[in-house]
Amino acid sequence: LAKTTQPISMDSYEGQEVNITCSHNNIATNDYITWYQQFPSQGPRFIIQGYKTKVTNEVASLFIPADRKSSTLSLPRVSLSDTAVYYCLVGDSNVNTNAGKSTFGDGTTLTVKP
């Protein structure tokens, strides 16, 4: 399973755009990139998933360059409630092999200040 590297922590202020970059140099052809958010004492929550280029939903955008060796989660206009740990995962989409066997790293702790 591809290993991911993220910054340990980031600080931001309310209303700013936050970009968290994840490196995954050993990503395989079948791998998708998935981001989760976790608040203290809660399970992780799925945010967004992508394979290449750009994906956007109501919560975030995910930018993936052509070589797919990194990805950037973009959170527009963060608020205090976005303070959480954000995990980048690279997972096999092949249902017959490792699909769903996700390897979480230690994530990025985002602190949003007033």
Partner 1 sequence: DTGVSQDPRHKITKRGQNVTFRCDPISEHNRLYWYRQTLGQGPEFLTYFQNEAQLEKSRLLSDRFSAERPKGSFSTLEIQRTEQGDSAMYLCASSQTGLENEQYFGPGTRLTVT
Binding positions for partner 1, rule: CB under 8 A? 32, 34, 41-46, 49, 85, 87, 89, 91, 93, 95, 99-107
Write down the least CB distance from residue 87 to partner 1, Å.
6
For 23-76, the DSSP string reads: E-TT--TTEEEEEEEE-TTS--EEEEEESSEEEE-SS-EEEE-TT-SEEEEEES
Identity of the residue, 41 or 81, whose beta carbon is nearer to partner 1 in the bound complex: 41
**CB of 74 vs partner 1, minimal distance in Å:** 19
* CB of 40 or CB of 114, closer to partner 1: 40
| Radius of gyration of the chain, Cα coordinates, nearest whole angstrom | 14
Q: How far is the CB of 99 from partner 1 (least distance, A)?
A: 4
Distance CA 32, CA 50 (A): 6
